[in-house]
Structure 1
Amino acid sequence: MTSLPVAENWRLHLVLSNGRLALGLGILCLWLLLALLAPWTAPFDPLEHNIELRLSAPNFTHLFGTDNFGRDVLSRVIWGARVDLQLSLLGVILPFLIGTSIGALAGYIGGGVDTLCMRVTDIILAFPFLVLMLAIMVLIGPGLGSFYIAIALVGWVSYARLTRSQILVLKNSDFALAARSLGYSHVRILFRHLLPNALFSSIVFFMSDAVLILLNGAAVSYLGLGVQPPTAEWGTMIAEGQSLITSAWWICTFPGLAIVSLAMGFSLMADGIAEILGERS
């Protein structure tokens, strides 16, 4: 029997030895698997109407019940995982890339560039995150595209501040001075030596930020600015079932539990990564 290489064994042991990281990764992988296999794991068509079965309580045929259009809630939760995972994962990548790039350049170059970048971040941070994002989406129009644009325009500032603070410390370190003395270019020093060492805090925040993006994505869909009906999305499902909470509690309860479980998975992964990086530092 062949064994894994030493490096792969070490990484696997590192993940499995951290309970929070392993549990969070397990929750995320479970939702990813359900989302990828939605055509086979969902028992019914999430858009199929059946007025005769409307507002059916959870039973052996419809485990999560049906909504006010007779659609199977379990199937809509599974298909909704595709949209909400896309919102939380893709929605956090753009701010991460933009923010780390701006923060790295501002911290390394300094001077007027640094001052300008930090003043822009101060202006954006002066407004509540969700309010500013909603204002941008109202101007652009509802939909996934406007959500990603709003998140990119608002969410990069935290990554920029984190990366800038790390670069300011690292650019005066011994290995950075040695790289300069060897005649390395500024681009090589910044992106091959400084930035990889400055990303630890941003990586931890990346996982925590995925929770915020997930909740904001559900919130804007709840308000009618995000994913539009009849597409299955957890925030939209909660909005559709809020008026029936006393008579058909299952319509919004199960999507709400799905949001909580996925958010918990991201939070546990963030805690586990923070513990591992803290032990290595």
Structure 2
Amino acid sequence: MTLTPAHRAATLPFRLAAQGLAAPAALKLGAAISLAWLFLALAAPLVAPYDPIAQDLEQTLRHPGWAHWLGTDNFGRDVLSRIIWGARFDLAMGLLGVIVPFILGSAIGLVAGYFGGLVDTLLMRLLDITISFPFFVLVIAIISVLGAGLASFFIAVALVGWVSYARLIRSQTLVLKHSDFVLAARNLGYSRRRIMARHILPNAVLPAVVFSMSDVVLTILLGSSLSYLGLGVQPPAAEWGVMIAEGQTFLATAWWISFFPGLAIVTLALGFSLLADGLAETLGIRE
């Protein structure tokens, strides 16, 4: 018997437990990296050796050593502690920045695909208008209007980032609404809301879930880039993009100020990318 995507998702934990070491290497490695960063972010008050914003002008621009494993910056702040605390900002931007676009885009795509006709035409024209502008430029324009800060970042991403999810869910819904189990549900007199929520959405949402793992990477990179430009998280907060911007003046003499936050971004992005690839392979979904 061929399992639907919803059935494969429901049995995923049991199949991974049964497969053990046979689980995709990308999934295991990606989960390990992502969970490690999540642990550091949650345990930052216990793990970080120093206050991330406390200045010690007698310890400015110290090379990596025993007292400060990753060195200090131009204000004497411990780079390792700032990276650990910064994981909170970057994970929040990546994870929370995907949730609203995921929900909004899924709802729009489901309604457009199921009802079709004028509803589909109007919603897809809204989608076309949104994607007609470069994503990064549109986000910067919205933040410029709202003002720099984390709240503005989340609003801008929510207003722009729903497009990909709407397209994915709509394409899946267009196929699923003509499937036998949906036609059977209609013949049994089920309401449209029940058919959409309990029969179509669980089978249509998995490609969007897999894509969301990759979207977390893009959102983290976007958030760090905006913070680097001064439009995201504001100094003296310990955020990786802010740290890279603050350290660029000292690249020739104190390379570690920018290098280690950049390395943190790369490893976190790698973790979620591998997680997306492994999840897609496990569920049999092509991204």
TM-score (norm 1): 0.95
User: One-letter code of the match for 2:60?
Assistant: R
1:12 aligns to 2:12 (yes or no):
no
Change (3 A) 1:195 1:9: closer
Match of 2:145 in 1: 139
- CA deviation after TM superposition for structure 1 residue 11, in Å: 3.7
- CA deviation after TM superposition for structure 1 residue 243, in Å: 1.4
1:175 aligns to 2:181 (yes or no):
yes
- CA deviation after TM superposition for structure 1 residue 7, in Å: 8.2
Structure 1, unaligned runs of 5 or more: 1-5
Match of 1:32 in 2: 38
Distance 2:19 2:201 in 1: 24
- CA deviation after TM superposition for structure 1 residue 126, in Å: 1.1
Distance 2:142 2:38 in 1: 30
- Write the deviation string for residues 21-68 of structure 1: whole angstroms up to 9, x where unpaired: 111111111011111111111011111111111011101110100000
* Identical counterparts, % of pairs: 61
Match of 1:246 in 2: 252
TM-score (norm 2): 0.93
- CA deviation after TM superposition for structure 1 residue 172, in Å: 0.5
Which of 271, 276, 280 is the aligned partner of 2:277?
271
Equivalent residues of 1:38, 1:78 under 8 A apart = yes
Distance 2:160 2:105 in 1: 10
Equivalent residues of 1:53, 1:66 under 8 A apart = yes
1:190 aligns to 2:210 (yes or no):
no
- CA deviation after TM superposition for structure 1 residue 267, in Å: 0.2
What RMSD, in angstroms, separates the aligned Cα atoms of the two structures?
A: 1.5
Distance 2:285 2:258 in 1: 41
Match of 2:88 in 1: 82
SS in structure 2 opposite 1:232?
Answer: coil
How many residues of Structure 1 are paired with residues of Structure 2 in the alignment? 275
1:43 aligns to 2:49 (yes or no):
yes
Equivalent residues of 2:207, 2:285 under 8 A apart = no
Distance 1:65 1:97 in 2: 42
Structure 2, unaligned runs of 5 or more: 1-10
